[in-house]
Amino acid sequence: MKQSDFDKYEDSYVETVERSIQFSGLKHDFFQQAKQKMLRQVIYKHFRGNEKLSLLDVGCGVGSLHPYIKELVHSIVGVDISHQSIKRAKLNNSDNRYFSYDGERLPFEANKFNIVMAVCVMHHVHPDKWSFFLSEMSRVTQENGLVVVIEHNPLNPLTKFAVSRCPFDVDATLLSARRVSKLMKYNNLNHLDSKYFIFSPSNKSFVNQVEKRLAWLPFGGQYIAVGIK
C-alpha cells in the first residue's frame, strides 16, 4: 500500500476504523476518549498546567483526535503525507493549522513545539525509517518538551485481529513499546514512561481506576510511550 493511499479515506476514515472494530461493539469515540485521558495525564504530570503549550501532531490524518484534545493545549498544528486528509482536517478543525509534507524532514525549525506526538502512525512507516522518524520528532521538540508515541500493542491478540481487518493497515508493521523506548533512547530522548491502556471495553470510572493500576502490564490494546528532550 502506498502511503498516500490514505487520501482515499478522507471521507470515510472513522467509518473504516469502526468496521474493523465492529466485533468489539466499540465506537471510534471510545478509543479517542481513551487516548485523550492518557494524553491529559501525561501532559498535566509533566507541565503541571503552567504553560501555554504548543502541540504538533505528526500523521494527524483527518484530525479526528483534535476536538478531544483541544482543551489540553494552547495550539495544535497537524502534518500528514495525505493531502486529502489534511484538507479534511482543516475543514473539521478551523482553529488549528495543517500542512501536508513528504514524510521525511518535518517542515519546521528545531526546538519549536512543547509536545510532538504521533498517534497510530509509526506502524505505517517503514521500519528502516522508524529511527529517522523519531529523530525528526525530537528535532522539532523544545528542550524539556515531550515526544509522545501512541501505538497499537502487538502483544494484544484483539488489537492484532482488528489490525488484520482494517483495509488501510495492510502495510502495518506493529512495533512494541519496548522498541519505541529503545528508539527514543537511541535518539537522545530520556525515555520517561510507557503505559498500556484499553484493557476492557468499559468507560466507567471504577474501570478506569483499575486500568490505571494495570498500566504497567503489556496487555492493553494500545500504549503510550513518552520521551523527554
With CB atoms as reference, the residue minimizing the distance to ligand SAM is 61
The grid coordinates of residue 20 equal 474493523
Q: Which of 93, 153, 144, 91 is nearest to 116 (CA)?
A: 144
Q: How far is the CB of 30 from ligand SAM (least distance, A)?
A: 14
CB 131 within 8 A of CB 187: yes
Query: Coil, strand, or helix at residue 64?
Result: coil
Considering only residues 38 through 67, tell me which ones interact with ligand SAM, judged by CB under 6 A.
58-61, 64-65
Q: State which residue, 80 or 144, has the beta carbon closest to ligand SAM.
A: 80
Q: How far is the CB of 163 from ligand SAM (least distance, A)?
A: 10
b/e for 97-108, b at 16 or more Cβ within 10 A? ebbbeebeebeb
x/- map, 91-110, ligand SAM, by CB under 6 A = ------------x-------
221 lies in the site for ligand SAM, by CB under 6 A: no
Helices then strands, each counted (H, E), the chain? 8, 7
CB 59 within 8 A of CB 82: no
Q: Which listed range, 42-50, 77-85, 173-181, 216-224, lies at the site for ligand SAM (CB under 6 A)?
A: 77-85
Q: Under the rule (CB under 6 A), what is the footprint of ligand SAM?
A: 3, 6, 58-61, 64-65, 80-82, 85, 103, 119-121, 124-125
